[in-house]
Structure 1
Amino acid sequence: MRKLKIVCMACLFVFAAGCTASEVNRFIQGATEASLTEQDVGDGLKEALVKGIVTGSDRASQVDGFFANELIRIALPEDVQRVESTLRRLGLGAEVDRVLLTINRGAEAAAKEAKPLFVDAIRQLTVQDAWELLNGGEDAATRYLQGKTSEKLTGLFAPHIEEALDEVGATRYYGDLVSAYNTFPTTSRKLDPDLQGYVTEQAISGLFVLIAQEEKAIRENPAERTTALLRRVFAAQDN
């Protein structure tokens, strides 16, 4: 209450001095930013990241959440891409298409399980450089989170990817495709039948893309700041 009175008195003073409305807004914003603590900023960034992963996971876990989104659609493993034309010439085109669809379906299914894993990782973050992240680039907090949590998240997320790939048949279809290719007499370079590690890496990368999009929206669009803390913290980087 005392702080509010001080701000109000200051506003009256600057109005009396002939300041414009925009100048008064900047003055009030300065007072708001000055009152932010590192804890406020850290909590605000965590809240933004939680919002991002909740939104991102929900989008990614829908049917075609990965497959129809060119930004995060999981391509065939690099080894398979190199011989894709050969596989199709050998009459394995339908198998190639089925693998491509099912690995994305597996990522979509696993994304449903990603939310609590990511949120838990976010909650445990200690943001020492909170002000730097707040005033960083449009995806500064996402990149920070990615650097700090990717290894742990990979270990946590991998079993869910394995289960999802098995459930939609991706593991079997990919194994059949690789075996069919590897058995051709003209095949000089064998394909690696391991799929889990590749899809895990690509799925996590895709989720971070969606988190970064949400962070960018929160930074640029005040309407995306759906809580008082988000509005207060990210208003400080608008100036």
Structure 2
Amino acid sequence: MNKLFKYIALSIFITAGCAELTQIVQTIEGDRPLTQTEVANGLREALKIGTDSAASGLSRMNGYYGDELVKILLPPEAAVITDNLNRIPGGEKLLEDVILRINRSAEHAAKEATPIFVNAVTKMTIQDAFTVLRDGDNAATQYLRNHTYNELFKLYQPKIESSLNQNLVTGISTNDSWQNLTGQWNRLAGSLAGQIAGFNTVEIELDEYLTHQALDGLFLKLAEEEAKIRTNPAARVTALLERVFGSSEAQR
């Protein structure tokens, strides 16, 4: 009986020793639990990389204009114009000119988006980071949108407005083109023929509309970048990203 007890005790010691050894090996290999700092830094790093990539892509020539997912069209209030372009001399060409210039303005403004996002990312708390990591999908993008949209709008709108007022081609700005288009339409709508036809004038702040659309496109591209980092190991371009998101992926 004493021998049996000794055998059991020895087995327990060996088993415990193996478990301890395994834990040491795992720690050496990087399987230790993530620290709060690593999670927070990993999320911040992912957002900085994602926002920089999204903004850089949209700031290129045709970044907005050449991408049907984010291409900015005229406001819905302008449908009455687009539906009746044949009533305006050269209306179709004028319309396309305005759309092109609007998207060029957004591409110009996107060049200034990265530092705005970086400033917002640095404000993410450790608890926020853990929540975002746990929620998955596009949680980081939604967090950034929900917590910074108003601030980004206030910072982004002046850049959009400045871009709208810049002379892009032949000394005409985007605002000039928009006012020309809406001015011609509103004159028609205000005429007797327009009143009989029931046409309404178009009154909209183009810079506000464009800012909303530009930010929507930016967040859409950011969501795509976040998805890459969460689902594609090749997109985790730093050791910290691989550790944070690889660990999160393994826990699902």
- Both proteins in one fold, TM over 0.5: yes
- How far apart are the structure 1 equivalents of 2:122 and 2:70? 25
**What is residue 174 of structure 1 aligned with on the other side?**
178
Aligned Cα root-mean-square deviation (Å) = 2.2
C-alpha distance after superposition, 1:35-68 (max 9, x if no partner): x122221211111111011101110000000011
* 1:122 to 1:11, Cα distance in 2 relative to 1, 3 A: closer
- How far apart are the structure 2 equivalents of 1:110 and 1:134? 30
**CA offset at residue 12 of structure 1?**
9.4
**CA offset at residue 132 of structure 1?**
2.6
5+ residue gaps in structure 1? 1-5, 14-23
- How far apart are the structure 1 equivalents of 2:203 and 2:111? 28
**What is residue 37 of structure 1 aligned with on the other side?**
35
**What is residue 103 of structure 2 aligned with on the other side?**
104
Equivalences for 1:58-97 in 2 at 5 Å? 58-91=56-89, 92-97=91-96
Equivalences for 1:14-25 in 2 at 5 Å? none
Q: Is 1:142 aligned to residue 146 of structure 2?
A: no
**Contact 2:88–2:184 (8 Å) recurs in 1:** no
**CA offset at residue 89 of structure 1?**
3.7
* 1:127 to 1:192, Cα distance in 2 relative to 1, 3 A: farther
C-alpha distance after superposition, 1:187-228 (max 9, x if no partner): 531101421000001101111111111100001111111111
* 1:7 to 1:109, Cα distance in 2 relative to 1, 3 A: farther
**Residue type of the alignment partner of 1:134:** L
**CA offset at residue 99 of structure 1?**
0.7
**Contact 1:46–1:123 (8 Å) recurs in 2:** yes
**Contact 2:80–2:200 (8 Å) recurs in 1:** no
Determine which structure has more spread, i.e. the larger CA radius of gyration.
2
**Contact 1:165–1:171 (8 Å) recurs in 2:** yes
5+ residue gaps in structure 2? 1-17
Equivalences for 1:2-13 in 2 at 5 Å? 9-10=21-22
Q: Is 1:215 aligned to residue 226 of structure 2?
A: yes
**Contact 1:52–1:211 (8 Å) recurs in 2:** yes
TM-score (norm 1): 0.84
**What is residue 7 of structure 2 aligned with on the other side?**
none
Where 2:49 maps in the other structure, the secondary structure is: helix
The answer to which structure, 1 or 2, has the higher relative contact order (CA under 8 A, 6+ apart) is 1
**What is residue 237 of structure 1 aligned with on the other side?**
248
* 1:110 to 1:8, Cα distance in 2 relative to 1, 3 A: farther
**CA offset at residue 145 of structure 1?**
0.6
Q: Is 1:196 aligned to residue 196 of structure 2?
A: no
- How far apart are the structure 1 equivalents of 2:132 and 2:204? 41
**Contact 1:57–1:207 (8 Å) recurs in 2:** yes
**Residue type of the alignment partner of 2:174:** A
Larger mean Cα displacement after TM superposition, 188-197 or 87-96 = 87-96
* 1:93 to 1:219, Cα distance in 2 relative to 1, 3 A: same
**CA offset at residue 238 of structure 1?**
1.4
- How far apart are the structure 1 equivalents of 2:203 and 2:36? 48
- How far apart are the structure 1 equivalents of 2:139 and 2:87? 45
**Residue type of the alignment partner of 1:79:** E
